[in-house]
Structure 1
Amino acid sequence: MIRIENISKQLSHRILFIEASAALNRGEKIGLVGPNGAGKTTIFRMITGQEFPDEGQISVDRGVTIGYFNQDVGEMSGRSAVAEVMEGAGPVSEVAAELRALEAAMSDPDRMDEMDAIIERYGEVQARFEELDGYALEGRAREVLAGLSFSEEMMDGDVGKLSGGWKMRVALARILLMRPDVMLLDEPSNHLDLESLIWLEDFLKGYEGALLMTSHDREFMNRIVNKVLEIDAGSLNSYTGNYEFYEEQRALAEKQQQAQFERQQAMLAKEIKFIERFKARASHAAQVQSRVKKLEKIERVEPPKRRQTVAFEFRPAPRSGEDVASLKNVAKAYGSRVIYDGFDFMIRRKERWCLMGVNGAGKSTLLKLVAGATEPDSGSVSIGASVKMGYFAQHAMDLIDGDRTIFEELEHHFPQAGQGSLRALAGCFGFSGDDVEKRCRVLSGGEKARLVMAIMLFDPPNFLVLDEPTNHLDLDTKEMLIKALSDFEGTMLFVSHDRHFLAALSNRVLEITPEGVHQYGGGYTEYVARTGHEAPGLHS
């Protein structure tokens, strides 16, 4: 359906692709992977004709419809969310617009003399609208929006009043409703809560067209894709299978290449030693010459390219008392909406609580209460002896000074630390070399999140309170963070929609439901096994 043939592409001084080729065939669900800045979004933009390769070509079969979702949703206002979604449903929305225009023409007294032609055209357009299942369109639009966690009120309200994250969901819903032959989805899992993520996963599994997508959510990608396309040093490498299989294959290929490289290096060393030893002897001249020629002809094996991932190691945190946080008889309401009433909760040292609950259940409120960012209406919240808290919230990213460079921001927080250790810290969180000279105001959401995380973890707290810490983080940084937090000796309370993160780090689950609060010993994996669902509100 789509062929990428020998493309080369350079962006300013960066070479993205060198004679790279790949294909997207009917029914394939492909995960596009590669480090940040490797050119994933550029591939999408070239397929949709927003950019062009410098050499080579990208061809799309005639008549193939493409739906492209990216993070730039553009302006939306003046319509309800449902109308906005229906507007993007491809051919059927154009037919609906013509139907409305013809209905207006039929009631226009100035056009009486054209009425026969208008009525005839109306019959044709109406038949086409029925053929495209147009009358079911609104129902389908509402179904998709409900899957993405919209309430009826939000569906019918002005789309312009929604936050950026909800507008993203509207833009995604447009593509899903359109059901094109090919879907290009650039990070569809960002900004989604766990329930919406699982709904989208099921939707895409049942989608019959071809799919090319990027995602920083490894579990989500793993369950959907049947092929992985990797951007690696300018080329496109294809692996059949899911994301986990791709990781195994890549590790195996690297191991084989390393072994091949080492064997060849040993052989070359032996040959060079022979040449050096006998090059001055006339009796061995012919042998030496033939070995020199042989060496010139050998195709050299390159060592495998090492992925640059830097491990972050916690300095040991000071030990806290056994009781880390205690909530007694806590009540909290926003207007008439009661979030907690008579709520008791105790967090003890080394417990790692993950909070589960549908949107609006009160997960972030609980984190704010514990972190002291909001006060209970009644009851008490107390923090234990020797507890040093680190609180990561989405608004923490707004507290970074835009005029400082990354390095200056780190220096501001840690004036006593040496240049070397701050550079090492920046490197662990993906800011290598000159990156540390970037001004904070130009940083992307992911870069800001990494910087806030670096500041929080450098002088380690013994109690981490984390609200969606993996939002915006790429797969490699997320892996690094999971590894670092696995070795963390302190206590944790966190909210995340990333199932890999939840499973790797939790040892307790607090589930907040309208019926009440439930506590589970054992982490997220045990929670899923015991409840039979991956998130509250989804019963499988």
Structure 2
Amino acid sequence: MLIALQDITFEFGARAIVEDASWHIVPGDRVGLIGLNGTGKSTLLRVINGEYTVSKGSVNKIKNLSLGFFNQDLLSFESDESILNVGMTAFEAALKLEKDIERITLELETNEAEALLMEYADKLHEFEALDGYNMRHKTAQVLEGLGFSTADLERPYSQFSGGWRMRVLLAKLILQQPDVLMLDEPTNHLDLPSIEWLEKYLLGYNGAVIIVSHDRFFLDRMVNKIVELYQQQLHHYAGNYEDYEQEKDLRREMQQRAYENQQDYIRQQERFIERFKAKASKAAQAQSIAKRLDRLERVEQVDNGPSKIRINFTPDKMPGKIITTLNNVTKRFGNLTILQNASAEINRGDKIALIGANGKGKSTLLRVIAGVEPMEGERIGGHNVVQSFYAQHQLESLDLNSEILDELKNFGSGRTEVELRALLGCFLFTGDDVYKRIKILSGGEKARVALAKTIISQANFLLLDEPTNHLDMNSVQMLIDALAQYDGTYVLVSHDRYFVSQTANKIWEIVDGEIKEFKGTYAEWEEFKKRQADAAKLAAGDKNASESKKKEVKTERPANNNNNNNNSGNKNNAKVETPQKNVPFDKEKQKELQKYKRQFQQLEEQLAKLNEKKATIETAMNNPDVYADRKKFQQLEAEYNQLGKELKQATEEYEKVFEILMELENN
């Protein structure tokens, strides 16, 4: 065990963050720490980090435990050193040794004393043991993995924006390789390629990792445990975020059944007490039952968390079939070309996600589409198009002296105060928060106000630049649900893969100055990219095999070929054996296809039977008579849990076979 939080209570001022909470962190843990905004997740990390002292309980750590904590406060760090040098400060001991070795090397030029030579040899050995010769390479590798170019490595840290600085500090923390790595919203500062690189790196990380993140895809791929901070308690779940949701639903269902059964029991006992408390022969029994009820440990009614308020977009008018057309658009910033004679068309009903690495021009293209970015070429707006553009720079349009509620009222949407307050609640402004003046809000809070204004704009064409930044998972889901019901058209930029996967029916990328369109969902696009990568590997393998075969052919000459250089006719004497003809590929492919089709059908039948069995058990578990029989209920519960595992395994196999079938049919 690395860290043990034992029955801790911690108050932040008058507010309790956790009460009598326990948590044990062991090597190999990859934990997602989740909870609503404001519940104290980051504060809990600071408790673990030793920045705060608990008022009750204990925080125990193994001796010489190393902790790494990635958080927003790191931005206070300043340096004019290159980012490579900043990253290399992770190797503090090796850097000190390197300076010592340089000093001793200079001394040895004039002093070859045996003691100095021995010290030099010891320092070299220690430097090698710390892998000091590779620290520059390792640092460059991690920085480039997080999105920096090779040319960037020698640029001063002070020249980079806040988001890029956070990447440098994340690289430094990763290179330090602490026993416990704590990451507070690490993906906020990363683009998709960098997030994917970080996932691969952390999956092989030897220490424990604790992650606070609103990125569901990241948590699903990264963690093997979930700890939820809710109502001052820590609730522990095995598995990733998807497993957590399923398990939490099951726990709620069982708790609700237990609550309802207990309420039935309490009502029966109370009726007995009320009926017989005045009857002499039953009064003692009634009094005994009343005492038993007082001692009864009550099952609490299920708390379903924050209410699911529905957000509605209401387009004011129907646009024409074509929303916007771009013809031969070119956009440059100095020597940097973003778009080069690029053309694209946005049609009514398109739900487009514009994805790719930072610096490729996604936000610039969004502004070009909006008509607010100067460019070469032609932009043609469609008939009856009413657009609304949400981006960070739109925050400038907010009236800083207005209260939040008034800012939305003055926008002229015609919605009632009750509707506006409900909408603001979705974006984490509750109670008297709606009366705060905009000038005192943080950058994230202002962004949420601007997004709320976008939603009530009654536009039929939305342009959304990173709309999920500063939102918790609950609010992101509400926005997803709203966009699913939206009748208009939108183009969005987001690095939140779950959000993109739930909202887009087309994917756009900027590749070599052109706009590349993929008609399909994010999952289909990922599968398409995977097939492309596999095909490229296969082609590379075929090419290498072909080159190897050519070399074999060239070296396979007849024994008596002394005159080959002088007699061109003898070139035909080289004996090249014709390889045996393989079984036709199509025939083999058809056999394989039929095999997987049979397997797919069997899995479909197996899943149907398992789901039918699951429904039967659920019906039985809902029966009050069964629930009253503890032994029978525990047996059913065990069967239900085992069935869940079988269903999960069968579903994974089903999806795997389906993917193989799709690949065979499409190739």
Question: Contact 1:482–1:505 (CA<8 Å) still a contact in 2?
Answer: yes
- Structure 1 pair 476–534 and aligned structure 2 pair: CA distance change class (3 A): farther
Aligned to 2:419, what secondary structure does the other structure show? helix
Q: For residue 79 of structure 1, what is the aligned residue in structure 2? A: 81
Q: For residue 25 of structure 1, what is the aligned residue in structure 2? A: 26
Q: For residue 312 of structure 2, what is the aligned residue in structure 1? A: 314
Q: Pick which of 94-103 and 382-391 moved more.
A: 94-103
Q: For residue 338 of structure 1, what is the aligned residue in structure 2? A: 337
Are 1:16 and 2:14 matched, yes or no? no
Question: Contact 1:330–1:344 (CA<8 Å) still a contact in 2?
Answer: yes
Of Structure 1 and Structure 2, which has the larger fraction of its residues in helix?
2
What does 1:66-465 align with in structure 2 at a 5 Å threshold? 66-73=67-74, 74-87=76-89, 89=90, 92-101=91-100, 103-104=102-103, 107=106, 120-318=118-316, 319-377=318-376, 379-414=377-412, 417-465=415-463
Q: Pick which of 18-27 and 299-308 moved more.
A: 299-308
- Structure 1 pair 259–376 and aligned structure 2 pair: CA distance change class (3 A): same
Question: Contact 1:77–1:161 (CA<8 Å) still a contact in 2?
Answer: no
Aligned to 1:160, what secondary structure does the other structure show? helix
Please state how far the C-alpha of 1:515 moved relative to its aligned partner: 7.2
Please state how far the C-alpha of 1:285 moved relative to its aligned partner: 1.7
Q: Distance in 2 between matches of 1:310 and 1:481?
A: 11
Task: Report the number of matched residues.
Answer: 533
- Structure 1 pair 402–45 and aligned structure 2 pair: CA distance change class (3 A): farther
Aligned to 1:32, what secondary structure does the other structure show? strand
Q: For residue 532 of structure 1, what is the aligned residue in structure 2? A: 530
Give the partner amino acid of 1:85. G
Q: Percent identity?
A: 38
Instruction: Return the TM-score normalized by structure 2.
Output: 0.76
Please state how far the C-alpha of 1:116 moved relative to its aligned partner: 6.5
Q: For residue 55 of structure 1, what is the aligned residue in structure 2? A: 56
Q: For residue 471 of structure 1, what is the aligned residue in structure 2? A: 469
Q: Pick which of 99-108 and 484-493 moved more.
A: 99-108
Q: Distance in 1 between matches of 2:112 and 2:44?
A: 49
Instruction: Let me know the Cα RMSD of the aligned residues.
Output: 2.5
Q: For residue 508 of structure 1, what is the aligned residue in structure 2? A: 506
Question: Contact 1:324–1:348 (CA<8 Å) still a contact in 2?
Answer: yes
Question: Contact 2:464–2:493 (CA<8 Å) still a contact in 1?
Answer: yes
Q: Distance in 2 between matches of 1:534 and 1:420?
A: 51
Question: Contact 1:70–1:186 (CA<8 Å) still a contact in 2?
Answer: yes
Question: Contact 1:81–1:158 (CA<8 Å) still a contact in 2?
Answer: yes
Q: For residue 34 of structure 1, what is the aligned residue in structure 2? A: 35
Deviation digits for residues 119-155 of structure 1 (CA, Å, limit 9, x no counterpart):
5444333321110101100100000011001012221
Q: For residue 648 of structure 2, what is the aligned residue in structure 1? A: none
RCO greater where, 1 or 2, for CA within 8 Å and sep 6 or more? 1
Of Structure 1 and Structure 2, which has the larger fraction of its residues in strand?
1
Question: Contact 2:388–2:457 (CA<8 Å) still a contact in 1?
Answer: no
Aligned to 2:54, what secondary structure does the other structure show? coil
Q: Distance in 2 between matches of 1:95 and 1:336?
A: 40
Q: Distance in 2 between matches of 1:487 and 1:416?
A: 20
Aligned to 1:532, what secondary structure does the other structure show? helix
Question: Contact 1:106–1:118 (CA<8 Å) still a contact in 2?
Answer: no
Please state how far the C-alpha of 1:375 moved relative to its aligned partner: 2.1
Q: Could you list the runs of 5+ residues in structure 1 that have no partner in the other structure? A: none
- Structure 1 pair 199–181 and aligned structure 2 pair: CA distance change class (3 A): same
- Structure 1 pair 416–381 and aligned structure 2 pair: CA distance change class (3 A): same
Whichever of the two has the greater Rg, that structure is 2
Q: Distance in 2 between matches of 1:272 and 1:368?
A: 68
Please state how far the C-alpha of 1:159 moved relative to its aligned partner: 0.5
Give the partner amino acid of 2:70. F
Please state how far the C-alpha of 1:374 moved relative to its aligned partner: 0.4
Deviation digits for residues 368-418 of structure 1 (CA, Å, limit 9, x no counterpart):
0111220222x2112212211111112223443444432343334348544
Q: Distance in 2 between matches of 1:48 and 1:164?
A: 24
- Structure 1 pair 99–518 and aligned structure 2 pair: CA distance change class (3 A): closer
Q: Distance in 2 between matches of 1:113 and 1:534?
A: 62
Please state how far the C-alpha of 1:113 moved relative to its aligned partner: 8.6
Deviation digits for residues 172-200 of structure 1 (CA, Å, limit 9, x no counterpart):
00011111221111111111000000000
Question: Contact 1:28–1:211 (CA<8 Å) still a contact in 2?
Answer: yes
Q: Pick which of 468-477 and 249-258 moved more.
A: 468-477
Q: Pick which of 303-312 and 15-24 moved more.
A: 303-312
- Structure 1 pair 534–232 and aligned structure 2 pair: CA distance change class (3 A): farther
Give the partner amino acid of 1:501. F
Question: Contact 2:399–2:438 (CA<8 Å) still a contact in 1?
Answer: yes
